[in-house]
Amino acid sequence: MEFTEWIRGRTDEQLRALVSARPELITPVPAHLEGLASRAASPSAIARVLDRLDRFTLAVVETLAVREEPLSKDALRALITAALAAGDPDDAQADDAQTSRSRATGASNGKAGGKRARSADPMPALTAALDRLRELALVYGPDDALHLGPGVRKVLDDPAGLGPSATDAFRHHAPEQLAEMADDVAPGTTGTGKERLAAALADPAGLIGSVSPEARAALDQLAWGPPTGRVPNARREVRIESARSPIEELLARGLLAATGEESVTLPREVALHLRGGRVHRGLLAVPPPLQGAARDQKLTDRTAAGQAFSFVRSVEELCERWSVEPPGVLRTGGLGVRDLKRATTELDVPEWVAALVVEVAHAAGLIAAGGGVDGEWLPTAGYDLWRVRSTADRWVTLAATWLHMDRVPGLVGDRDERDRPFNALHTDLRRSSAPGVRAATLGVLAAAPGLAPDRDAVLERLAWEQPRRKGPLRQQLTEFTLREAEQVGVTGLGALSAHGRLLAEGGDAAGALAPLLPEPVDHVLLQADLTAVAPGPLTSELNRWMTLTADVESKGGATVYRFSEQSIRRALDAGHGGEELVSMLARHSATPVPQALSYLVTDVARRHGRIRVGTASAYIRCDDPALLDQITADRRSAALRLRRLAPTVIASRSSRAALVDSLRAMGYAPVAESLDGDVIISQLESRRTEAFAPARATAPPNGLDPEVAAAAVRALRAGDAAHLSRREPADAPGGGVPRGPATATISALQEAIKQGVRVWIGYLDSQGNATSRILEPARMEGGYLTAYDETRAAVHRFALHRITGVAGL
């Protein structure tokens, strides 16, 4: 059965399943089903769908690829059963180790389950795999004649670790050399050297039995793959009687084929004989069981909720700090190492966590490059909208961004191939495979509810689920995902939380998280030692006010703030009055305001602003002449080069900022004033960038929308029907082309359109040559006739002034 006809015979439901599982096949929608079949057989499309197969399903494809087609389901079952039942010493040792670890940790599922899966009947798993492969159009045909889809064999490199067949392995050898080898291994046979050699290797037991133990050991090393090796002078001509080394024994008998000057490969027939006819070994029909520590789900959810709250607060604190003191953008892009270390100190987190906070905030569009010519990292207008939402909704925004973004914060601090460090917010941190790895890792955690799987167990499960997607980067991304999921609050104690599961599945994660989050409190506990304890997370407004008025001394379950003269002055500089501060403290304190704190605020407020500094370059103004006398008499003021202008005014050559700082260092409490004599509020203004927030990179959807798939199938069916009904070009009648007056021609064409009949016309082409056409006129407008041209089997537009005449048929 041809592949195209098989595709054409699929039901609409089956075609919808195909395009939903392989959406790349309808991007754009092909004109007909023949085009769909051609696209499904393209190497790029096949490689993409093979990457999505699990280890068992891929093993079914590889088994079909190395056997002659067509292959029956029963024969395929026998090969798969042999692979499931077989094990090797390495597998046995691994099983024993896993079983011992399971007993030691008390885990309920171990490798023993894998052994039971090997000995179980593989027919259900095989049937499910074949159904899946038919759905993906990788296998077609009935159970008694299974075929691989066209192009699959070409995409598979060394399927199951097997090399090329003998015919392909020796295709570059000279005919004379092949004839000599065939004379040695198959004397008395007829045919070409390649044919005789291939026939001898179809049953290589005698050839393998005739080699030395050393040569047999070399074969055993290549038997289970990879099937290639390197030897010097691989293309040497050697006969059996002249062979001196184990490699020469194998080359002379055709048990190894030279594929280059220093490379050899093991023919597929030889490898299958060494494997005992099996294609795979140690195959599992079900995923390997996950090992790890059991976790209470409620404890997991509470722990993850605490992490989620902390992560949201870290992002908010970062944006607030950067709105006042934004770091610069490097010339090469990204965030400087010093700025990242400063963020690490301010957020009181490890450096990799600070990089994660910065990257997620940027990917979520909360910060972007803006500001001056050189650029600064500033919060965006989107941050102000994000900040006023509930904590649960804010977390969902951040967590979904982390899950779908193509940036890898874990690489920050590493070095590239040129030994250059990866900076946070740099474009070099993009990895297209990152969203897929995060989704796959969370899928593994979701498969083990209430379990915190070990790192090795997660890697082993991912290797089974997506065996073609492997490599050091993928392992590194998996480890980053496990670490970052805990920090973001998707997992708790290594197990997937309920709101993390809903996030991965697209459910109401905010609704599940909200009841677990701590309620913000609007009060603090003031203490006599000039500290305040926040018994929980403060409301956003109170948190900002406390950060302005006091310094954070410690964080944890309760945040401790310390009041000092500098912090009180900072609040006064921001425009708050002394009485206002005391009133705010009394209103938001669950305990009475300590007398020491009240005295501190009153004393700083009393002295605050008594001295005013302006520009003379700068000046000092005070209503108390005695205080100015004290300043001028102070030896520490000599460097300011002060000059008394009036009893209440002193001028200085220093700048206003330097003068204010120097007086404060001397123990005074001046404030700056403008040229109009108004007090300058020294609180730095929060800034925002007008730059566009980066578009959030999202992972590709798992299939198409059902309505899109249905519409695509309808279009394919309609296009295929038109394609099949296409008529072959017809020959025009013989004789001279029709000719006649223009008015008669127009009338005849109008009548043909009305009656829906065919006509024979004469037509002048662009070179003025007279041709004849058979047409089915459709419409006539704007000096053109639109008609189906049977002589060309296509729809064309004809200029009316070029039609020489019309005749009926």
The pair of three-digit structure tokens given for residue 222, joined into one six-digit string:
């290549």
Say if residue 582 is in the same domain as residue 624. Answer: no
CB < 8 Å & 24+ apart, contacts of 201-204? 201/166, 201/254, 201/255, 201/267, 201/269, 201/270, 202/166, 202/269, 203/273, 204/255, 204/269, 204/270, 204/273
Q: Is residue 260 situated within a structural domain?
A: yes
- Residue 521 DSSP class: B
- What is the predicted pLDDT for the residue at 120? 54
Q: Is residue 697 situated within a structural domain?
A: no
Say if residue 107 is in the same domain as residue 154. Answer: yes
Q: In a 10 Å sphere around its CB, with 0-12 CB exposed, 13-18 middle and 19+ buried, how is residue 659 labelled?
A: buried
* Residue showing tokens 């060494």: 274
Say if residue 619 is in the same domain as residue 764. Answer: no
CA torsion 22→24→29→30, rounded to 10°? Answer: -90
What are the φ/ψ torsions at residue 508 (nearest 5 degrees)? -85, 80
What does the alpha-carbon distance between residue 512 and residue 80 come to, in Å, rounded to a whole number?
Answer: 44
* Residue showing tokens 């203004």: 685
Per DSSP bridges, beta strands 784-789 and 649-652 are unpaired
Among 572, 606, 640, give the residue marking a domain's end: 606
- pTM passes above 0.75: no
Say if residue 413 is in the same domain as residue 322. Answer: yes
Say if residue 373 is in the same domain as residue 509. Answer: yes
State which residues form the domain around 530. Answer: 525-606
The pair of three-digit structure tokens given for residue 437, joined into one six-digit string:
């790895």
- The string over 179-197, giving b where at least 16 C-beta atoms fall within 10 Å of a residue's C-beta and e elsewhere, is ebbbbbbbeeeeeebbbbb
The pair of three-digit structure tokens given for residue 315, joined into one six-digit string:
């992002």
- Residue 233 DSSP class: T
Say if residue 368 is in the same domain as residue 414. Answer: yes
Q: Which residues of the chain have pLDDT under 50?
A: 88-119, 695-702
Cis-peptide into 70, omega within 30 deg: yes
* Bridge partner list, 559: 534
Counting the structural domains of the chain, the total is: 6
CA distances to 709, 719, 749 from 716, in Å: 11, 5, 34
- The string over 137-165, giving b where at least 16 C-beta atoms fall within 10 Å of a residue's C-beta and e elsewhere, is bbbbbeeeebbbbbbbeebbebbbbbbbb
Say if residue 329 is in the same domain as residue 375. Answer: yes
What does the alpha-carbon distance between residue 258 and residue 228 come to, in Å, rounded to a whole number?
Answer: 10
- Residue 517 DSSP class: S
Asked if 88 and 165 count as a contact pair (C-beta separation under 8 A), the reply is: no
* Bridge partner list, 679: 673
Most distant CA pair in the chain, distance: 128
Q: Where are the beta strands (DSSP E) in 423-478?
A: 451-453
Q: Is residue 532 situated within a structural domain?
A: yes
- What is the predicted pLDDT for the residue at 687? 64
Q: Is residue 691 situated within a structural domain?
A: no
Say if residue 564 is in the same domain as residue 598. Answer: yes
Q: Is residue 285 situated within a structural domain?
A: no
Collapsing DSSP to helix, strand or coil, 305 comes out as: helix
Asked if 133 and 60 count as a contact pair (C-beta separation under 8 A), the reply is: yes
Dihedral (CA of 143, 146, 149, 155) sign: positive
Say if residue 372 is in the same domain as residue 471. Answer: yes
- What is the predicted pLDDT for the residue at 442? 94
Measured N-to-C along each axis, helices 595-607 and 565-573 cross at an angle, to the nearest 10 degrees, of: 50
DSSP 668-684: --EEEB-TTSPBPP-SP
Q: How many helices (H) and strands (E) does the chain have?
A: 35, 25
Q: What angle do CA 416, 461, 149 make, to 5 degrees?
A: 90
Residues written for the chain: 809
- Residue 263 DSSP class: E
Q: Is residue 507 situated within a structural domain?
A: yes
CB neighbours of residue 759 within 10 Å: 23
Those residues whose C-beta lies under 8 Å from the C-beta of residue 746, and which sit 6 or more positions away, are: 780, 800
Collapsing DSSP to helix, strand or coil, 303 comes out as: helix
What does the alpha-carbon distance between residue 409 and residue 403 come to, in Å, rounded to a whole number?
Answer: 12
- What is the predicted pLDDT for the residue at 495? 94
CA distances to 751, 764, 768 from 739, in Å: 17, 11, 15
Q: Is residue 87 situated within a structural domain?
A: yes
- Residue 774 DSSP class: E
Say if residue 75 is in the same domain as residue 184. Answer: no
In 3D space, the residue among 393, 402, 324 whose CA is nearest the CA of residue 357 turns out to be: 402
Cis-peptide into 226, omega within 30 deg: yes
CB neighbours of residue 296 within 10 Å: 12
- What is the predicted pLDDT for the residue at 667? 85
The pair of three-digit structure tokens given for residue 258, joined into one six-digit string:
């030279």
Say if residue 567 is in the same domain as residue 641. Answer: no
Q: What angle do CA 169, 175, 177 make, to 5 degrees?
A: 80
Q: In a 10 Å sphere around its CB, with 0-12 CB exposed, 13-18 middle and 19+ buried, how is residue 490 labelled?
A: buried
What does the alpha-carbon distance between residue 430 and residue 481 come to, in Å, rounded to a whole number?
Answer: 15
Among 606, 622, 649, give the residue marking a domain's end: 606
CA distances to 133, 365, 371, 639, 770 from 328, in Å: 53, 18, 9, 34, 75
Among 161, 177, 192, give the residue marking a domain's end: 161
Which CATH number goes with the domain that contains 757? 2.30.30.100
Say if residue 326 is in the same domain as residue 448. Answer: yes
DSSP 625-639: HHHHHHHHH-GGGGG
What does the alpha-carbon distance between residue 580 and residue 567 come to, in Å, rounded to a whole number?
Answer: 15
- The string over 78-101, giving b where at least 16 C-beta atoms fall within 10 Å of a residue's C-beta and e elsewhere, is ebbbbbbebbeeebeebbeebeeb
Cis-peptide into 28, omega within 30 deg: yes
Q: Is residue 497 situated within a structural domain?
A: yes
Measured N-to-C along each axis, helices 434-446 and 472-488 cross at an angle, to the nearest 10 degrees, of: 60
CA torsion 634→638→640→645, rounded to 10°? Answer: 70
CA torsion 226→232→237→239, rounded to 10°? Answer: -70
The pair of three-digit structure tokens given for residue 733, joined into one six-digit string:
């009648």
